[in-house]
Structure 1
Amino acid sequence: MLLLIPGPVQTRPEVRAAMAQDIAPWDRDFQSVYARVRERVVGIAHGTPGVHATLPIQGAGHFVTEAVLRTFVPAGSKVLIPMNGAYAQRMARLAREAGREVVPVALPDTRGATAEDILPVLESDPSIGTVAFVYNETGSGIVNDAEGIGAAVRKAGRRMVLDAVSAFGALPFRMDEHPECDALVFTSGKCLEGMPGMGFAVARIDRAEACAGNAGSWSFDLSDVLAHARRSGWGSIRFTPPVQAIAAFDVALDLYEAEGGQAARLARYRANTDALYDGIVALGLRPYLAREHQGPVIVTVHQPADPRFDLMTFVEALKRRGVLISNFYNTVAPTMRIGAIGAITPEDMRRAVQAIGAALQDVLPKAA
């Protein structure tokens, strides 16, 4: 089965094989693996040892995103969030339910947010302390301008947290060039092509120390994650972790480095996206985004206007042809979500396009 969703992604056999073992999380052999993973992640983020640290949280991306919001945004404080997609809306809900005041910036879900969208709001309201946003919006496929927004936040003297869950490892971002960024977050099952189960924050150590006591939650307190590592060692973890997923992630990082790291991974994903986008257009379907706004992670496609079309029926027809895509959408207009990341190639994408065309014929047969 060819898995084309924006995460958890299709993985390599070597990664899956690393799951086939029983592991004790306190065992010294595993602790060395876990400590190594944390160190490698800081390197991928271009963090500075002693300045930045990897602070993991078990679970889905929403868990580590909530942990970052709770830790680095004080209760009752304002956080600006550009609202141009479903995952921005989820981030806003996490912030509100944690008792933070969200300042939304309404934007269309068909283009990325820029510094020009953010800076006027910051200038008009000096009480906004933090800007939080999603780097890659997997609702539509747009990419927000992390570099430009970061520069604007730095110029305004505010703080930033970056949800890079579906971007880290492919889209570039250097923590050493963004002192305004308290933390970026990602998960094991996206662009680094590991198994799902673990969230990571690459965070400034000084800010994690200064924000101790903000979280209002033991489970979601990244300052406590840092304090635990200092007490018990970087190979230790506070609560029972998904040890097999961490072991597999270590292997995935080996493969990532062997491929050539971020630049090579991004090049392959862009080639995947181009093959998919061009193929969709050739089928007569209409991509949701204009090409200049199309990111390299997921292509969303307008559903056919034919009243006979049903997304769930189409997804099942496509699955019978060996390709699995999301069976839901979260754009303003009805769409189909087709991922372009994971252990897949442009040739896989061209094969997927053929299957999509055939599945459309299955569910929308032409009159004889």
Structure 2
Amino acid sequence: MTRKILLNPGPATTTQNVKNALVVEDICPRETEFGDLMHDICDGLLEIGNGQKDYNVALFGASGTGAMEATITSAIGKEDKVLILTNGAYGIRMTQICENYDISYGSLFEYGDYTEPAKVKEALTTKQYTHLAFIHHETSTGMMDPVDELVAICKALNIVSIVDAMSTFGAFPYNLSDLGVDYIFSSSNKCIHGMAGLSFVLFHNNQKEALMANGRSYYFDVYKQWENLQKKNQLRFTPPVQICYSFMAAIRETLAEGVETRWERYKANWQILYDGLLDLGFKPLLPLDQESKILLALKLDGKEGFDFDHFHDYLYKRDITIYPGVMPEKATFRVAIIGDLYPDDMHRVMEEMTGYFSS
């Protein structure tokens, strides 16, 4: 099987071990053995996030947007109002979910703005909001929001915090018990390097009563999904069976490597691409101090005659995938280093890119 270097922000390049784990004997997901696997996945996620004492896990057969929808519709009550930080495509997606469910919300920041904690604090001190929701790593721009500061503001003001950790959980070294976030969610196919198809919501023990009272979705009910696994040793609805076995293999690999070690590998890979692409004349979208070290968005203006689709196809034929941009009114493309990727892979990418511009 040809190894592909995926520089899109998930699904990611996976190990052969994770691929092999998809091939398992057929099993009914109502069997005790499979229920035990679900609990092992939850325990592994809590260990990755250092939240074993204070957090619980709800698993859903869904993409990451499913976890986002589950959290928003389960955590925010009919009398509540959430402030959403809309400095990228996925913060805007949160507002769209709120509109679909008639959830009261306000927004702060424009596309591409850096999240300034002082402005967030000022908005929250108006006392019109009960919740704050934001994206830790906004993959539409490559920006990393200051999660520690934002959650600390919420704790000080008695605001419920909701964090999208879609493209950080498994690589960024969280200590959830110290952080004290109320809700944090992600999916199987990002920084844990599993296959797409399973998403998860981690919620603090102190949110159980709110979840019981607030759930407004049938499928995406966080409390009922968690409770069903505790009481019946199975999920409420049919999970993606093979994906679950594969995800468990990816969780074990994550724990074996160690999140701190993975984070250092990510940063080293990112630096190789950052230096190499700047040498080729590309300009980053963001200033260096706002970069996530997980994804890099690059401007296309100033590259006269450059055809992204031709560049993409050239690399794709050489088993390398790059990703188009999504920023309105700004021409960009993106490269992410999520997945089972190493410095040798990054050097190969730069050799191929350099060859493209030299031909």
* Cα gap change, 1:102 to 1:361, in 2 (>3 Å): farther
Helix, strand or coil: the match of 1:92?
helix
Residues 11, 191 of structure 1: CA spacing in aligned structure 2 closer, same or farther, 3 A cutoff? same
Distance in 2 of aligned mates of 1:272 and 1:110 = 25
Partner in structure 1 of residue 239 of structure 2: 241
| Deviation, structure 1 residue 245 | 1.1
TM-score, L = length of structure 2: 0.94
Map of 1:113-132 to 2, 5 A cutoff?
113-123=115-125, 125-132=126-133
**3-state SS in 1 of match to 2:82:** strand
Matched, 1:37 2:41: yes
Q: Secondary structure at the match of 1:202?
A: strand
Unaligned runs of 5+ in 2: none
Q: CA deviation at 1:244?
A: 1.0
Amino acid of the residue matched to residue 177 of structure 2? Answer: D
Question: Does residue 63 of the first structure (1) align with residue 61 of the second (2)?
Answer: no
- Aligned CA-pair RMSD: 1.8
Q: Once the two structures are aligned, what percentage of the paired residues are identical?
A: 26
1:289 is matched by which residue type in structure 2? Answer: L
In structure 2, which of residues 14, 18, 28 is the aligned counterpart of residue 15 of structure 1?
18
Structure 2 residue matching 1:128: 3-state secondary structure:
coil
CA distance in 1, matches of 2:213, 2:356: 54
1:335 equivalent in alignment to 2:338 = no
Aligned counterpart, 1:229: 229
Aligned residue runs from structure 1 range 236-315, under 5 A: 236-259=234-257, 261-306=258-303, 308-315=305-312
1:66-145 paired onto structure 2 within 5 Å: 66-75=69-78, 77-107=80-110, 109=112, 111=114, 113-123=115-125, 125-145=126-146
Q: Which runs of 5+ in 1 are unaligned?
A: 363-368
Contact preservation (8 Å) 1:287, 1:302: yes
Structure 2 distance, partners of 1:76, 1:310, is: 50
Stretches of 4+ aligned residues off by more than 6 angstroms: none
Structure 2 vs 1, CA of residues 322 and 163 (structure 1 numbering), >3 Å: closer, same or farther?
same
**Equivalence for 1:353:** 350
2:43–2:52 Cα contact (<8 Å) kept = no
Q: What are the residue-to-residue correspondences of 1:196-235 with 2, within 5 Å? A: 196-233=196-233
Aligned-pair CA distance for 1:351: 1.1
Contact 2:282 2:303 in 1 (8 A): no
Cα distance between partner residues in 1 of 2:232 and 2:72: 25
Deviation of the 1:313 alpha carbon? 2.5
Distance 2:329 2:39 in 1: 42
Equivalent residues of 2:95, 2:105 under 8 A apart: yes
The answer on 1:320 being equivalent to 2:317 is: yes
- Which residue number corresponds to residue 155 of structure 2? 154
8 Å CA contact retained: 2:35, 2:229: no
User: What letter is aligned with 1:311?
Assistant: F
The equivalent of 1:366 in structure 2 is none
- The 3-state SS of whatever aligns with 1:165 is coil
**SS across alignment from 1:231:** helix
Normalising by the residue count of structure 1, what TM-score does the alignment of the two structures yield? Answer: 0.91
Shift of residue 356 of structure 1? Answer: 2.0
Query: Per the alignment, do residues 210 and 297 of structure 1 end up closer, same or farther by CA in structure 2, a change over 3 Å counting?
Result: same
1:163 lines up with 2:164 in the alignment: yes
Say if 1:79 and 1:109 are closer, same or farther in 2 by CA, change over 3 A.
same
Report how far residue 120 of structure 1 moved.
0.5
Show the counterpart of 1:365: none
Q: State the match for 1:190 in structure 2.
A: 190
